[in-house]
Chains A and B, each alone.
Chain A
Amino acid sequence: MSPLKKLLRDRRSLAGAAILGVMALAAVMAPVIAPADPIAQGDVIANRFLSPLESGGDGIVHWLGTDRYGRDILSRLIFGARISLSVGLLSVTVAIVLGVAIGVTAAAFGGAIERALMVLTDVFLALPRLVLLLTLVTIWDSSLLLVVLVLGFTGWMSIARLVRAEVRSLLSRPFVDAARAGGISLNHLVWHHLIPNSVTPVFVAAALSVGNAIALEAGLSFLGLGIPHPAPSWGNMIAAGRDALVNAPWISVFPGLCVALAVIACNLLGDGARDALDPRSPTF
């Protein structure tokens, strides 16, 4: 059975993929499906702090209520998904590129290069990620690109370690010896044999880190250091609801549920993928 079929047979990964798929679809179609403008403030007095399912002065039903400026929570959540998902995916892409490059280089060259790269990996692993993130985001004015880059540059280590281990074991396999004996170049060996064969653990690690990145981005925005207002991000929505927690808990509750749901979906996808694609590996 092909890996993709196996993956699609696993109920957990299907559930995870479905949740992420719906979120991604909502993010892409945001301008079409969002019932209201996520940023514009209409009649603030008539629309603010409406509880879920209430309709405002403009006659629009606010399924998940409104915030202190009368903005529709559901619309903000849908537009917020754009930021959360793109930060998650893009930062993990950066992490994968870095991790695969460093892991393959280390394993393929060995010797001093390998040792130096592994020391670098250990240093980055000991780096308190959140501390670095907070520091960098403050000193280099926060932007989407910076958050993506910082998350990517602090998230490649586990992938590099996995790839290095995988490539090292591949290097001792007969097919690699055969390819080498056939006289192929190192370049060809790396791109056509080593990288394609070490994809599985990378996919699993990547699925888990997307969830992590989404939660961290929301955390930064929660502390007021991520995506600046008034653009909606799940994190800054949770933070904005803190002041009105008693009277309008829905402002914080729903974006938090979205973050949790995204993280859970990534975990389901990652867990399912590991069991489906690589039954030998220990379950985490």
Chain B
Amino acid sequence: MDWRSAPDAKKTVADGSDAGPMQAGTTHAIPQHTPRLSLVKRLLFRLAQALGLVLGVVTLTFILINLAPGDPARLWVGPAAGAEELEGARHALGLDRSLWVRYFTWMIGFVTGQWGTSIAQQRPVTEVLSGAVPHTLLLTVTSLLLTYIIGIAVGSIQAINNRTRLDTGLTVFNLLVYGMPAYWLAIMLVLVFSYHAPLHGWPEWLRLPAMGVSSLNADFLGPWHAFVDRLRHAALPLITLTAIGAAGTSRFVRNSLLDVRRLDFVLTARAKGMRTLGIEIKHVLRNGLLPIVTLLGLSLPALFSGTVFVEVIFAWPGMGREMVAAVLARDYPVIMATTAIYAALVVAGNMLADFLYGVADPRTRNSAS
């Protein structure tokens, strides 16, 4: 982008239209001006693209749901209802109109924030989800942070100790944890920390609760104890999500660092007589961690899948649990809304990854993607 727009900018500056006489004709003023303009343009373009993607996902879901056999109106009124009642329900749900009319009505409502009423709960969808989204975000953001901290640390330790027993041991351990399905790991953690810990008289802090976000008596606890109570409830869900994520991340970090280590410039640094630790930190880590930024975008869908299972198992009142309940009850408005939110989060995560990559690696900043 930049190399193409640069000559035009040069012309503008040379014309003296928006630059001072001091800078007219000089070249060093050019890069200060044009990239910013193109950055805004690119951001807007990316934003439009992201919105388009979310709309695409929502449209696809709408079509798939509406092509499905079975009559939501029949589910709504129950099997005992007569034909007249069924017709009334069809009209109330808007099912007597054509697919296109329904699609556009729904889309306009969705864009303007009218997300409809949950069929199962008889509450506005926005109300149902506004309570759930923060719980899910708390879980995902915290586990994402922990995943990266632990994953990068373990991966770096492995790369530095490449081909030692420590490295092999950690590689095998990572592969084992990475292969475990989230729902199974969650159940195993409950088995150990919620059932066995009290049975075998383990210390109090290792006896962790298996359900909900806080204890029943949470309202009567002081601020510190309430915080600890929350933390204890979050422990097992977080461990489940973080363990699997960190195992995958450290595999990636280890390989990425080892790939960079083989490159010529590392050899040059070594030939110059630079100390090993200096090379590892200044050259290998700095370049090897770059691809991890892209991992952020790639790992989000898997993280959200994991969260759905974890929320169901630990009775965590988040979006995943709401969604599974909605799916089982065929609560279409809630299903559509959760799909849209999940898609938006995934797309936003990818955009953030692209942006961070640009920040971290100036070489890619101006390449058209």
A residues neighboring B (CB under 8 Å)? 119, 122-123, 126-132, 134-136, 138-140, 211, 215-216, 218-219, 222-223, 225, 238, 241-242, 245-246, 249, 252-253, 256, 259-261, 263-264, 267-268, 282-284
The 4 closest A-B pairs by CB, nearest first: A256-B184, A264-B179, A123-B56, A128-B342
Q: Are B309 and A222 in contact (CB under 8 A)?
A: yes
Additional A-B contact list (20), CB under 8 Å, known A123-B60, A256-B180, A283-B258: A122-B53, A123-B53, A126-B54, A126-B57, A127-B343, A128-B346, A131-B338, A134-B324, A135-B61, A139-B70, A140-B68, A211-B179, A238-B181, A238-B187, A242-B187, A260-B180, A263-B179, A264-B176, A264-B178, A282-B259
Inter-chain contact B181/A256, CB cutoff 8 Å: yes
Q: Which residues of A contact B330 (CB under 8 A)?
A: 138-139
Q: Is there a chain A Cβ closer than 8 Å to B183's Cβ?
A: yes
Q: How far is the CA of A225 from the CA of B305 in the complex (A)?
A: 15
Question: Given B53, B65, B179, B188, which contacts A253 in the complex, CB threshold below 8 Å?
Answer: B188
Q: Decide: B57 and A260 in contact? CB cutoff 8 A.
A: no
Give how many A-B residue pairs fall within 8 Å (CB-CB): 135
Q: Taking beta carbons and an 8 Å cutoff, which residues of B are in contact with A?
A: 52-54, 56-57, 60-61, 64-65, 68-70, 175-176, 178-184, 187-188, 190-191, 195, 251-252, 255-256, 258-259, 291, 301, 304-305, 308-309, 312, 323-324, 327-328, 330, 335, 338-339, 342-343, 346-347, 350
Query: Across the interface, which residues of B come within 8 angstroms of A256, CB to CB?
Result: 180-181, 184, 187-188
26 A-B residue pairings within 8 Å (CB atoms): A123-B53, A126-B54, A126-B343, A126-B346, A128-B343, A131-B323, A131-B339, A134-B324, A135-B327, A135-B335, A135-B339, A138-B328, A139-B70, A140-B68, A225-B327, A246-B195, A249-B191, A252-B187, A256-B184, A259-B180, A259-B181, A259-B184, A264-B175, A283-B256, A284-B252, A284-B255
Q: Residue B181 contacts which of A126, A129, A218, A246 (CB distance < 8 angstroms)?
A: A218
| B64 near A135: Cβ-Cβ < 8 Å | yes
Main secondary structure of the interface of B (DSSP, over half): helix
Q: Which residues of A contact B65 (CB under 8 A)?
A: 135, 139
Contacts of A132 in B (CB 8 A): 61, 64, 339
